[in-house]
Amino acid sequence: MSINKEDKILIIGAGGQIGLELLEELNKIYGPSNVIAADIRSSNAFSQNPFETLDVLNAEALFNIVKKHGIKQVYLLAALLSATAEKNPLFGWQLNMQGLFNVLDLAKEKHLTKVYWPSSIAAFGPTTPRVNTPQYTVMEPTTVYGISKQAGERWCEYYFNKYGVDVRSIRYPGLIGYKSAPGGGTTDYAVHIFHEALEKGVYECFLGENTALPMMYMPDAIRATIQLMHAPAEQVKIRGSYNLGGISFDPKTIANEIKKHVPSFSITYKPDFRQQIAESWPQSINDTEARQHWGWVPEYDLGKMVQDMLFHLQKEKSVK
Ligand code: SER
């Protein structure tokens, strides 16, 4: 492992679905005073950490924050997700790409030693083999979000090859957690379903019942992210982005799993524009390279994830 606990870390998009959970884990490793939270708006969740209001498109403001705190590592999590970016394609492209360039350029100029940037299963497209999708395959994404992720992967590798930037990346599947809310993604149903099951006992799903997608429980995703960032540089042989496999299921299957714990729960289906997006993505992921290069092993299967999600959400709701 290569950890420098003195490094100052900046999380951009700290208030988002991944940011909030990553902040909590990085606090445990580096201590809250070494983890600087940045987001376009403030939140109570950052009470332990230094906080900076930041629009990642403002390169000068970003540079000033990096200098002010002596930041060495950046986790860049600010982005428009798949469904939101379809509604505002040019802004989605601008935010996702220019934000990445602003951070990569700081690393190119040696202000940073390490960068984390997430890619996604959305970087694949309808011509990609959909089952057990390999690391290297046809990639013709059809969403703005997916196009920005694929292009971003190429740029990350380019900055590594040309300028020696230590950038690391994972192609996340849909992420499911109880601590933070998702926003604007096609896989968000797999989080909403839990809240609605407990609050209302019914859920109307915006994807069809047989629409299988690759998913992952948040503790696995956060563990993978930190494991990749702590891996010795020579183990990180892929500088585009790593496939990461977790669980694969469709809405009907997760609904049945929830019913084992909430017998009265029922689901209905009303697919909308997100159905087409979901159908352009893989159903399951082959992550051989992540396993071989830096020792990735997922911990949660569907049963274990559903049980843990319901346990924590029920606990939260009984406290309220
Ligand atoms: N979960 C994301 C989305 O649905 C994919 O990376 O947009």
- For residue 120, which atom of ligand 1 is closest to its CA? 6
Q: What is the pLDDT confidence band of residue 320, given thresholds at 50, 70 and 90?
A: low
Active site (annotated) includes residue 145: yes
- Encode pLDDT of 162-186 as tens digits: 999 999 999 999 999 999 988 899 9
- Encode pLDDT of 118-136 as tens digits: 999 999 999 999 999 999 9
Q: Which of 145, 147, 248 to mutate to test the pocket of ligand 1 (most atoms within 8 A of CB)?
A: 145
- Encode pLDDT of 19-77 as tens digits: 999 999 999 999 999 999 999 998 888 899 999 999 999 999 999 999 999 999 999 99
Q: Separation of 67 CA from ligand 1 center, angstroms?
A: 32
Sign of the four-CA dihedral 175, 40, 105, 8 = negative
Q: Of the listed 30, 116, 145, 242, which one is catalytic?
A: 145
Q: Where are the domains positioned within the chain? A: 8-172, 175-214+246-319
Q: Could you tell me if 189 and 196 are in contact, meaning their C-beta atoms sit under 8 angstroms apart? A: no
**Does residue 185's CB lie within 6 angstroms of at least one atom of ligand 1?**
yes
What is the reported pLDDT for 89? Answer: 98
**Does residue 241's CB lie within 6 angstroms of at least one atom of ligand 1?**
no
**Does residue 82's CB lie within 6 angstroms of at least one atom of ligand 1?**
yes
The pLDDT mean for the chain works out to 96
What is the reported pLDDT for 1? Answer: 59
Q: Could you tell me if 298 and 236 are in contact, meaning their C-beta atoms sit under 8 angstroms apart? A: no
User: At 165, which amino acid appears?
Assistant: V
Task: Calculate the alpha carbon distances from 173 to 28, 100, 114, 193, 278 in Å.
Answer: 25, 20, 23, 17, 12
What CATH fold (topology level) applies to the domain 175-214+246-319? UDP-galactose 4-epimerase; domain 1 (3.90.25)
What CATH fold (topology level) applies to the domain 8-172? Rossmann fold (3.40.50)
What is the reported pLDDT for 308? Answer: 98
What is the reported pLDDT for 4? Answer: 79
**Does residue 122's CB lie within 6 angstroms of at least one atom of ligand 1?**
yes
DSSP 174-216: EEE-SSS---S-SSTHHHHHHHHHHHTSEEEESS-TT--EEEE
Equal CATH topology for 8-172 and 175-214+246-319 = no
HSE (side-chain half, CA atoms, 13 Å) at 288:
6
- Encode pLDDT of 256-288 as tens digits: 999 999 999 999 999 999 999 999 999 999 999
- For residue 277, which atom of ligand 1 is closest to its CA? 4
